[in-house]
């Protein structure tokens, strides 16, 4: 157990320099956690598992090893036999890391493409037995469209395999044609969210998807190119014509060369540039008529130094950086309020962080309400981080009343924008009232689940058990 933990720690530091190793840490961590209750044969956590219903004797399957544990009843640490399951993914991950670290000399990874880098945009879609790909190199007038048909073996592997294989084959084709180098950056767009998630997180349970991702990371390592996989709405893929190309239809979208390819993927456009009426929507439910959006320069200065209400409207291409600064501003100025508005594009790398740093995060799928442009289809992401309370529970997100508002917002996503604004206004007014609540009243608003006692800490230096206060 200890040697495997040491190996996991070393790999964690290596991935900071070589991020293409990150997806292959999962096998090691799944093996380490396979002894925990509520884990299936693949090491993943079972949905709906309750620790209170667990029988420790029921997990005695697999290989056993002695490991220390604290039973919480006295001040001694004993050893017991812990059983580990054999995780199928571990050999895959070890094999992948061996291939990615096989070169005798260290691979130099550029921190960012140099000035004058070659940027390539690729769109891919698969439907049934066929697939279509479009390639556009920045500052050129050429759009390359490839159409193909899957082999019999590949056509039986499912849509997720087709979509990811379309991405991998395109990147490998760019390498064969000499289009990839350490000065290259490739943006690949797909309407399959699984492909984006597998690329960023590497949590594919399928062996076929795993092999495809390994091929992609090997290509990135050999060439030094920077590759981004970005999900876009299926309607956007239809409008740009790539969906039609996979069905041998070349009369719409990029195939007609009537509209610039980059107009189909506005990574530079904020929500207010797409629909300026959204600023009035935020001003209405906050009742702050003088509220203005922050500029990129304000992310580094005003949001951190000035206490107040800040409106963040980053473009999808800068959202990852904005989320880091959002979390930093919330720590430096805990009495400030932050509101986030952005389209749901390129969210895999930052959405989890935004959810942790905010009190509420919802997705509003009003395609025909929020966007004025006929080429905009993605949902709208709205997040709010309220100021810290003066007493326990400290955060609005832990209150029962807040949960009720959140449930109401989920229920009214379809009726109309005005109804959503009304619910947000109620939440905004209530949150401002909670700021000065006394400790007793604030505790009454907590959900019952948060009242569980905090587990006891391990032994202190003096040998006594340290008990934490429970609320």
Q: What are phi and psi of 117, to 5 degrees?
A: -65, 150
**pLDDT at 169 (0 to 100):** 92
Q: Pairing mode, if any, of strands 309-312 and 337-343? A: parallel
Query: 218 vs 161, 187, 221, 298, 307, CA distance in Å?
Result: 18, 17, 5, 39, 47
Would you call 14 exposed, middle or buried from its count of C-beta atoms within 10 A (0-12, 13-18, 19+)? middle
Q: What is the model's pLDDT at position 455? A: 46
Closest CA to 369 of 378, 357, 360: 378
Q: Is the dihedral of CA 217, 219, 223, 228 positive or negative?
A: negative
pTM (2 decimals)?
0.77
Residue 13 has what pLDDT? 87
Among 126, 209, 227, which Cα is nearest to 172's? 227
pLDDT of the chain, 471 residues: tens digit per residue:
678 888 888 888 888 888 778 778 878 888 888 877 777 777 766 655 555 454 444 444 455 454 444 444 444 444 444 566 777 778 888 888 888 887 765 677 777 766 667 889 999 888 777 888 888 888 888 888 888 888 878 877 888 888 899 999 999 999 999 888 888 889 999 988 889 888 887 666 677 888 888 889 888 888 888 899 999 888 888 877 777 666 666 666 676 666 778 888 888 889 898 888 889 889 988 888 889 999 999 999 989 888 899 999 999 999 999 999 999 999 898 889 999 999 988 898 899 999 999 988 888 776 666 666 666 788 889 999 988 877 777 787 877 767 777 777 666 555 456 677 778 888 888 777 766 656 566 555 555 444 444 444 444 444 444 444 443
- Residue 247 to residues 48, 128, 153: CA-CA distances in angstroms? 42, 9, 20
Q: Quick: pLDDT tens for 168-224.
A: 999 999 999 988 888 888 999 998 888 988 888 766 667 788 888 888 988 888 888
- Name which of 349, 351, 325 is nearest 336 in CA terms: 325
Q: CB under 8 Å to 262, separation ≥6 — which residues?
A: 121, 136
Of 131, 122, 256, 99, the closest CA to residue 189 belongs to 122
pLDDT at 70: 41
The Cα-based distances of 143 to 124, 139, 178, 259, 452 in angstroms read 13, 11, 17, 11, 60
The pLDDT of residue 471: 37
Q: Write the CB contacts of 370 (distance below 8 Å, at least 6 apart in sequence).
A: 271, 274, 275, 278, 364, 376, 380, 417
Q: For residues 143 and 459, give the distance between their C-alpha atoms in angstroms, rounded to a whole number.
A: 66
**Residue 313: what pLDDT?**
95
Buried-state track 345-379, b at ≥16 Cβ within 10 A, e below 16 = bbbbbbbeebeebbbbbbebeeeeebbeeeebbbb
pLDDT at 417: 65
pLDDT at residue 79 in the model: 46
Name the DSSP class of 316: G
């Amino acid at each position: 157990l200890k040697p495997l933990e040491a190996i996991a720690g070393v790999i964690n530091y290596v991935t900071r320099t070589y991020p293409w190793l990150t997806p292959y840490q999962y096998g090691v961590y799944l093996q380490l956690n396979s002894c925990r209750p509520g884990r299936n044969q693949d090491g993943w956590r079972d949905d709906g598992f309750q620790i209170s219903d667990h029988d420790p004797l029921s997990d005695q399957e697999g290989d056993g090893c002695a490991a220390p544990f604290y039973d919480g009843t006295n001040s001694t640490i004993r050893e017991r036999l812990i059983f580990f399951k054999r995780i199928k993914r571990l050999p895959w991950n070890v094999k992948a890391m061996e291939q990615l670290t096989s070169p005798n000399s260290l691979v130099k990874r550029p921190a960012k493409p140099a000035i004058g880098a070659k940027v390539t945009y690729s769109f891919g879609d698969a439907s049934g037995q066929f697939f279509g790909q479009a390639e556009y190199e920045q500052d050129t007038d050429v759009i390359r469209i490839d159409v193909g048909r899957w082999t019999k073996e590949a056509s039986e592997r499912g849509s997720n395999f087709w979509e990811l294989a379309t991405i991998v084959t395109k990147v490998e084709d760019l390498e064969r044609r000499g289009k990839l180098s350490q000065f290259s950056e490739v943006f690949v767009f797909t309407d399959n969210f699984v492909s984006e998630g597998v690329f960023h997180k590497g949590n594919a349970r399928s062996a076929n998807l795993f092999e495809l991702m390994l091929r992609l990371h090997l290509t990135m390592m050999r060439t030094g190119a920077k590759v981004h996989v970005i999900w876009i709405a299926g309607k956007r893929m239809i409008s740009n014509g790539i969906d039609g190309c996979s069905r041998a239809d070349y009369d719409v979208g990029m195939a007609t060369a009537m509209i610039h390819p980059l107009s189909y993927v506005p990574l530079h456009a904020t929500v207010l540039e797409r629909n300026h009426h959204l600023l009035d929507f935020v001003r209405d439910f906050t009742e702050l008529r003088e509220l203005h959006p922050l500029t990129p320069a304000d992310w580094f200065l005003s949001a951190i130094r000035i206490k107040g209400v800040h409106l963040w409207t980053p473009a999808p291409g800068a959202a990852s950086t904005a989320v880091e600064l959002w979390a930093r501003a919330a720590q430096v100025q805990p009495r400030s309020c932050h509101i986030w508005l952005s389209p749901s594009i390129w969210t895999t790398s930052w959405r989890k962080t935004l959810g942790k740093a905010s009190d509420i995060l919802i997705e509003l799928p009003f395609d025909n309400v929020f966007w004025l442009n006929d080429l905009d289809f993605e949902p709208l992401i709205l997040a709010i981080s309220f100021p810290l309370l003066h007493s326990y529970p400290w955060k609005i997100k832990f209150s029962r009343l807040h949960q009720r508002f959140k449930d109401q917002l989920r229920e009214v996503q379809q009726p109309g924008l005005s109804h959503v604004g009304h619910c947000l206004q109620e939440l905004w007014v209530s949150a401002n009232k909670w700021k000065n609540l006394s400790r007793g009243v604030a505790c009454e608003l907590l959900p019952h689940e948060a009242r569980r006692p905090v587990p006891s800490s391990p032994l202190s230096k003096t040998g006594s058990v340290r008990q934490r206060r429970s609320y």
